[in-house]
Chains A and B, each alone.
Chain A
């Protein structure tokens, strides 16, 4: 339990997707003009990361990894399919996003209306594939840890995009030098926020 909590907090603050690894920056910069849309996209990212990371975890450990096919019988124990990793992960992500979109549309039209346009965008959000690849390289012990890691990364991304959207809303009333307006000042702000997040780096749970 302690272990799970530690992974959760670590993936939100210390290994924040945006401030430590710059993943999902494209949509982070494009969809952070208003807080309400930022909340919608952030929620969709939490949702999709929480689903795709455990699925990719199962895929990695029961199909792709060297020796992972041992459950089929001793003959298959020596097979290493890890070269298929990228294609499998991205296919799972694209398919899951499509599936999630259909399920949400069927069972919760109101949620669909608020997330609707963002869901298809998420398939090419780097933070989703990044979640799968970090899960692979950090070799989590069981599916619980992988799920918690996925959710935590999603929450970290959510916090980052909502925070920058709030700042950008306020920024409208300030006098930014013309060439720095828009994109430039957003970069510098994100850098400053990243410096603030660096202070979490020493925390050990």
Chain B
């Protein structure tokens, strides 16, 4: 109990959104993006990006799990014995993911079916474990919460970019609304001979799109370029 009151007192001395704290949110959007720079959480980032809607739902799920997991682990970090910390973290995360899974099944059953095993796989999403290990185990709960939110925003942003291109070019729709016209009735763009790129719906194209995003990001941000092996 005493530790948590101390935390609150110290918090008061520093502004809640100081520059250092804001950096926790803005950094993962570009300089330390979890997917393109830290190479975390790629498994689920690619498999569910065929359409925009599941990607947004997945982003919200990860946001909840990472932010809450960071807070819980950060509050418990002095109690968890070092030797069993991985299992303790996994159990906390698995509990949170079960909550997400049940909420999805109750309110968004179709999306839950579409995401299938990938909701459960948030547990082993490396972003969750990576941030718990790298940040929450050594920081107080408020910075940990910001760090969790920042990293899931970086993750979600990438998810949404990939899904945007895949859904638009693959099926000519966005969020299920027709954008480019009807492919079978030959309206809109299709009337002048435009054809959907069926490749975009296939899993490998997600990898290529992420590769291209990395290329664009690194040519704009030279310090991220890797040294020749």
Query: A residues bordering B, Cβ < 8 Å?
Result: 19-26, 29-30, 33, 83-87, 89-91, 94-95, 120, 123-126, 128-130, 133-134, 136-137, 172, 177-188, 190-195, 198
Partner of B46, one of A25, A120, A180, A188: A25
Q: List 6 tightest A-B contacts by C-beta distance, closest first.
A: A194-B204, A187-B211, A191-B207, A182-B226, A179-B218, A133-B117
A194 to B124, CA, bound (A): 22
A26-B41, A183-B36 known; A134+B117 contact, CB < 8 A: yes
**B167 part of interface (Cβ distance < 8 Å):** no
Distance in Å: Cβ of B175 to nearest Cβ of chain A? 23
A183 contacts which chain B residues (CB < 8 A)? 36, 39, 214, 226
Do A86 and B43 touch (CB < 8 A)? no
Other A-B pairs beyond A183-B39, A184-B211, A198-B204, 9, CB < 8 Å: A29-B42, A33-B229, A87-B98, A180-B211, A181-B225, A183-B36, A183-B214, A190-B207, A192-B208
Do A126 and B124 touch (CB < 8 A)? yes
Do B207 and A187 touch (CB < 8 A)? yes
What are some 9 contacts across the A-B interface (CB < 8 A)? A19-B204, A26-B42, A26-B43, A87-B98, A133-B116, A184-B218, A186-B211, A187-B211, A194-B202
Main DSSP-derived SS at the A contact region: helix
A55 to B138, CA, bound (A): 35
Do B42 and A25 touch (CB < 8 A)? yes
Partner of B94, one of A22, A25, A87, A192: A87
Do A94 and B86 touch (CB < 8 A)? yes
Interface positions of B from 43 to 57, Cβ below 8 Å from A: 43-47
A186 contacts which chain B residues (CB < 8 A)? 211
A180 to B214, CA, bound (A): 7
Closest to A94 in B: B87
Closest to B127 in A: A26
Do B203 and A19 touch (CB < 8 A)? yes
A185 to B46, CA, bound (A): 16
B46 contacts which chain A residues (CB < 8 A)? 22, 25
Do A187 and B214 touch (CB < 8 A)? yes
Closest to B128 in A: A124
Interface positions of B from 63 to 118, Cβ below 8 Å from A: 86-87, 90-91, 94-95, 97-98, 101-102, 116-117
Partner of A188, one of B95, B116, B123, B207: B207
Partner of B121, one of A83, A87, A133, A177: A133
Distance in Å: Cβ of A181 to nearest Cβ of chain B? 5
Partner of B124, one of A129, A172, A191, A195: A129
Partner of B47, one of A22, A83, A177: A22
Residue of A89, A90, A183, A195 most packed against chain B (CB within 10 A)? A183
